[in-house]
Structure formats: structure tokens, C-alpha cells
Amino acid sequence: MTQVILIITAIGLGLATGSFTGGFAFSPLVCLIAGIFLVVPSLFKFKLADLALVKSHLPEIGKNIWVNYLLITAIALAIGYASQDIGIAAALFLLALLPGGGMVMMWIKTSGANVKLGFIIFMLNLALLLPITLIFSQFYGFAAPFFPPVDLSAIDPNLAAVEVKPFAPFMLLVVIPFVVSRIVLRFFPSIVALTAKHQPLVSKATMFGIVFYLFSLTTAQLLFKVSLAELATAAIATVIFYALTFGAALLLTDRTATGKAVFWHIATRYITLALILAVFNVDIFGASFILPIMMAYFIQIGSSGFLARLETREAVAA
């Protein structure tokens, strides 16, 4: 609950700060900070020998893949097409391609799920980040003929000057953190021990700072420039997307420890990463692109506690 309050506070303060200052410019350093302070501590616990567990959990891992990358993605595309707003469609598609996220391991531990399996799925989803960004980079070209033209009147032309290579998030959030974790494990064991002792505090502080920063960006202030019709369409589309996602997670998993590990990777999305990617694509998809991603914070964070109670109501031995 403390983490939920921190995230909501960070969102509110970020939007207020951006509103008063006009918003900050984006720096790619936030990706590196997220990788170092959020991903690296988790990688300290990862041993290459853990990959041997993949063979014994192939059904669960397979379910994570087909539900997230086929079923949920199809749901997102259908809702997006129905909205007839390519920005909303792109945002839902991006959320569908980014299961899990920064808080998923916390909910896995809270609900008594299989932590080892949860972490393996987390790592596999991260490993898919490169093909995901490559796929998403082609979305506009494929989808544009099926949607009305994009209204870019609310977009600052300077935003178009900011570009990101598809492999950049993969390098900053996967490759560099993995290399850093191996170096620290090998040469600085005291840092590993210190991090383990204070990891909850470090994670909460880092998440608060990143969310505050992302919501204080100039891009985030587009929330105050969209029409009420766009807000309503985005809200309805995002609520339907999460309702169907939660429904799929509940119906297609059981309450065993392994089932709950898969459940959380279906029910949650990597919203912070989606918002980072949105910064680089808002000049393509329009202001409505950031709406579902910003709304996702409130829906996912607000629902996670309720979902955790559902998952722990009937504990079943794995």
C-alpha cells in the first residue's frame, strides 16, 4: 500500500510541477537510471543456473507467451481499431507488448506466488524487449491506412527532434544492467550485501523519482491539451482493455504458486517503460497516444490490491 501511495503522489506532483513550469525536457539518462537502480538489484539474484528451471516450467512460460503476445495483443488491436484513434490504438498495442513491469515482483511475493518462476518470466519478457521495440516501430506504417489522419496541432515541433533507436531500451534496460550486475557480483560483494539490505527503500525512491520525472515532462502536459472526447474515448478503451486483461488472467490461471506467478505477468503491464517509449513517438501518433498509458497507472495501481486479495483468498499448494 505504501508503494501505491508513493506512485500516486509522484504522478500528482509530477503533473503539478509540469503544469507550473511548462514541463521538463526528456533525457535518455532516465532509462539508464531505471536500469541501474531497478533492474540491476534484481539481477543480483539471477544465476545462469536458474535457466535450468525453464525446462520444468515450459507450460507456464508458454502460457505467458501466448496469452500476452497473442491474446492480449489481439484484444488491444481490436479495441484500438474500434476507437478509430491511432494514438489510442498504438498505446494499447504497446501496453499489450509490455507485460509485467517494475512492481510485478512485489505483487508476486505478496500473493505467495512462485518467486523463482516469476523472476524467470520477468527476465524472459525483458529479453523480448528488442523484438518488441522493432515490431512497435513498424506499427504506424501498417495501421495508418485503417485510421483517420493524426492531429498533430497540439504537439510541440521540437519533440520531433528527439529520436530513439529501437535497440536503445534493450541496451539500457537489459544489456547494460546485466553486465553491471555481473561486474558487481564478481568484484564488489559488499555492494550486493548493502543493496539487499536496503533494496525496498532504493526501489521505492527510484520508482518515485522516475514516475515524478516522467509526469513532469513536456510530453505529459499534453494531458491538458486534448479534447474531452479524446479523454472519454481513451478512458473507455483503457478500462475495457484492463477489464479483459484481468479477466483473461483470472480465467486462464489457477491459484497455485506457479499459476499466480503467471497471473501477475498477465495482469500487469510495464507502464513506466511504455511511457518512456511514448515520449519518442508522440509526434507520430498525436497527443492521444499518451492518454491510455497515463490512465493505465491509475487503473493498474488501483486494482492491484484487489487482485492480490483475490489471489490469496484461496491458497492452493503448488
Q: What is the pLDDT along the chain (318 residues), one digit of tens a residue?
A: 566 688 788 888 988 998 888 778 777 777 778 778 777 887 777 777 777 778 888 999 999 999 999 999 999 999 999 999 999 999 999 999 999 877 788 788 888 888 888 888 988 898 888 888 889 989 999 999 999 988 776 666 555 445 556 677 778 778 888 899 889 988 888 888 888 777 777 777 887 888 888 888 887 777 777 888 999 999 999 999 999 999 999 999 998 999 999 999 999 999 888 887 777 777 788 888 889 998 898 899 888 888 888 887 755 444
Per-residue pLDDT at 99: 94
179: cell is 553486465
Give the C-alpha separation, 139 to 311, whole Å.
35
* CA angle (238 as vertex; 158, 150 as ends), nearest 5: 35
- Which pLDDT does position 281 carry in this prediction? 74
- pTM for this predicted structure: 0.87
Considering only CA atoms, which of 23, 54, 70 is closest in space to residue 217? 23
Note the pLDDT of residue 1.
Answer: 58
Distance CA 143, CA 139 (A): 6
Looking at the chain, the number of H-run helices and the number of E-run strands are: 19, 0
pLDDT at 191: 87
Determine the pLDDT at residue 81. 97
Q: What is the pLDDT of residue 263?
A: 95
Give the cell for residue 167.
535497440
Determine the distance from the C-alpha atom of residue 29 to the mean position of all C-alpha atoms in its chain, rounded to a whole number.
Answer: 18
Q: What pLDDT score does 316 carry? A: 47
Q: What is the pLDDT of residue 278?
A: 78
Domain ranges of the chain: 2-145+166-313
For cell 523472476, what's the residue? 119
Beta bridge mates, 99 = 269
Fold assignment, 2-145+166-313: Na+/H+ antiporter like fold (1.20.1530)
